[in-house]
Amino acid sequence: MHAKRKHANGDVTVSAVPAGDQPSRNSKRRRRYICFSITLTVLAVALLILILALTIFKSKKPITTVNSVAVRDVNATVNLLPPRVSINITLDVTISVKNPNKVGMTYRKSSAALRFKGHDIGTIPIPAGKIGSGDTKQMNLSLTVFADRLLSDVDVYGDVISGNFPVSTYTKISGKIRILNLFNIHVSSISTCDLKIDILNRKIVNQSCHYKKI
């Protein structure tokens, strides 16, 4: 490529312009355009994922419900001198866990516990598993008192003598949901039931259940 320059005296000077300059400028513009397009596309996809994660796929806590608690067996013996009590209780507990999310939920191995005044006196394992989108899973649990865990508790004697034995059930389900195959969200649900068991008639005379999502 050549460029002409005309001087005041009428002479004309012809100078050469490097042939690669113009294509080089065009190539730089194309690269800038491609980088801008890629950046814009990535931002648009990220924004779409964020919107979906906060709306349609927003994580929700599982809902644990105690459907029923029934006394299967109660055996209690009392010695007056020296004061000593031995008690065995087996409860059948049915719970259901609902996954309200648009994706499946996996939960890890856990356990349900039978408690006496805040202390575990019986446990049963809950195997790990999965609950599909919007599905509800029912679990049938059998909780039995470990009698040796009550021997050192001075309150047991008076409660057994009164005829109404207070216990509570505690179940915690912890798991995770995966949003758009990108994010793992950890969720948990706790259910507790406070019970009073009529030892003589082997039945529950009072029951109050509470639920908590964390």
Mean pLDDT of the residues in the chain: 81
Bond preceding residue 82 cis, omega within 30 of 0: yes
Average pLDDT of span 133-147: 88
Q: Predicted confidence band at 112 (pLDDT cuts at 50, 70, 90)?
A: very high
Task: Give the phi and the psi of residue 195 in degrees, each rounded to 5.
Answer: -130, 155
Q: In this model, does residue 138 exceed pLDDT 70?
A: yes
Torsion angle of the four alpha carbons 38, 40, 43, 45, in this order, in degrees rounded to the nearest 10: -70
In 52-98, beta strands by DSSP E: 63-79, 84-98
pLDDT digit string (tens) for 73-98?
888 877 777 767 778 889 999 999 99
- Helix (H/G/I), strand (E/B), else coil: 27: helix
Q: In this model, does residue 175 exceed pLDDT 70?
A: yes
Q: How far apart are CA 71 and CA 87, in angstroms?
A: 14
pLDDT digit string (tens) for 27-53?
777 888 888 888 888 887 777 666 665
The one-letter code for the residue type at 141 is: L
Cα angle at 29 between 25 and 32, to 5 degrees?
140
Average pLDDT of span 115-136: 90
Greater confidence (84 vs 197) lies with 197
For the chain, give every domain's residue range: 12-54, 63-213
Q: In this model, does residue 172 exceed pLDDT 70?
A: yes
Task: Convert 84-108 to b/e letters by CB count within 10 Å (16 or more is b).
Answer: ebebebbbebebebbbebebebebe
Q: How far apart are CA 38 and CA 8, in angstroms?
A: 52
Q: In this model, does residue 183 exceed pLDDT 50?
A: yes
Q: In this model, does residue 58 exceed pLDDT 90?
A: no
* CB 127, CB 109: distance < 8 Å: yes
Q: In this model, does residue 19 exceed pLDDT 60?
A: no
Instruction: Please tell me whether the overall predicted TM-score, pTM, comes out greater than 0.85 for this model.
Output: no
Look up the CATH number of domain 63-213: 2.60.40
- Helix (H/G/I), strand (E/B), else coil: 193: strand
Task: Give the phi and the psi of residue 171 in degrees, each rounded to 5.
Answer: -135, 130
* CB 107, CB 174: distance < 8 Å: yes
Q: Predicted confidence band at 22 (pLDDT cuts at 50, 70, 90)?
A: low
